[in-house]
Chain A
């Protein structure tokens, strides 16, 4: 009986797969909301949501 239960459990169990390392690409400026969204112009001075950050982190929010 016990053998039968073990066999059933074994069949339901997925085959072991060793852990794998995967490399995924992160865009750091985007991930931390550090880049400008300069497609938007608003605010009292017209700068809100525009390019108020460092020019080096500027990008066109084209997506």
Chain B
């Protein structure tokens, strides 16, 4: 009697699904601890499917047109009508430890992974290994679904607050300070998905957490955005929409290889900057920063209307 096919894993982030099946029914699919709360029990309407099997060396022999080269772990090639994602590491030699071919909309994929590599070993398949799942999600988001940002997102009293920053800006510190205040749900201290909804935007937690390891499969209506900047004192500055878009863009993960995806991200963030207040938050890493934000929210409202930016604009200037 043939073995019973292994149960697929369905990762759901921001109401978008990624279902992974093992080509070999004897292989057990395992989710990483941070991903477990994001596994869907019910069907996800907007869902991509990926079938993964052990490597046959086929991906190493395929030659396509390079669409995007990160110079590091992964690259994207065009092979016929398909998009081929390959992931390599010097630890595992020249052959990709993971290669997955997708249709152009990233709805269906089929791939191979190195036996004894970071994904398949000892008959266990760990498909949600950084950065594979994240790359697939950002490719799908770029098809007019939303934008993945480098941010700490939290919910307080049903209001969603977003604190954007690159590594070292203080996202995990911010998450910890707000958690200590209490009455707060941390959606993630490193990656947040923003999606449009009726008359506004919604922020969603992701499993791709930061240093503090906070992630929650929850969401909230986006009320305010802050660009994090550590400083010797707390200060909140309004930003013009154009500055806000530029600052958000460099803290987001658009599909860099795809003109349509990049244009979508710029339009999306411009629309957001027109509807939601985006401010620069210079802050001290202590409780006073939380109080400063709360005072601003209570005093100034959260819409983007009627804002001014401090300082006279120069012909060219650095925003940071």
Residues on A close to B: CB < 8 A?
A: 17, 20-27, 29-37, 39-40, 42-45, 47-50, 52-55, 57, 59, 61-63
Q: How far is the CB of A42 from chain B (nearest CB, A)?
A: 4
Count chain B residues whose beta carbon lies closer than 8 angstroms to a beta carbon of A: 60
Q: How far is the CB of A36 from chain B (nearest CB, A)?
A: 8
Which label, helix, strand, loop or mixed, suits the secondary structure of the B interface? loop
Q: Residues of A contacting B184 with CB < 8 Å?
A: none
* Known A-B contacts A20-B316, A44-B30, A62-B168; A30 and B150 likewise in contact (beta carbons under 8 Å): yes
Identify which of B73, B118, B150 contacts A34 (C-beta below 8 A): B73
- What are 28 contact pairs spanning A and B, CB under 8 A? A20-B317, A22-B317, A23-B316, A24-B318, A27-B250, A29-B72, A31-B256, A33-B70, A33-B130, A33-B135, A39-B211, A40-B34, A42-B34, A44-B118, A44-B119, A44-B124, A45-B118, A48-B126, A50-B118, A52-B118, A53-B89, A54-B89, A57-B73, A63-B150, A63-B169, A63-B171, A63-B172, A63-B190
CB pair B89 A22 closer than 8 Å: no
CB pair A22 B122 closer than 8 Å: no
Which residue of A has the minimal Cβ distance to B175? A63
Given A44-B120, A61-B210; 10 other pairs, CB 8 A cutoff: A20-B317, A21-B316, A27-B167, A30-B167, A35-B72, A43-B129, A52-B97, A57-B71, A57-B72, A63-B189
Which of B239-247, B285-293, B295-303 lies at the interface with chain A?
Answer: B239-247
Identify which of A30, A31, A33, A49 contacts B74 (C-beta below 8 A): A33
CB pair A24 B211 closer than 8 Å: no
B61 within 8 A of A: no
Bound Cα distance A22, B239 (Å): 13
Q: How far is the CB of B217 from chain A (nearest CB, A)?
A: 18
Identify which of B70, B126, B165, B166 contacts A32 (C-beta below 8 A): B70
B315 within 8 A of A: yes
Bound Cα distance A32, B76 (Å): 11
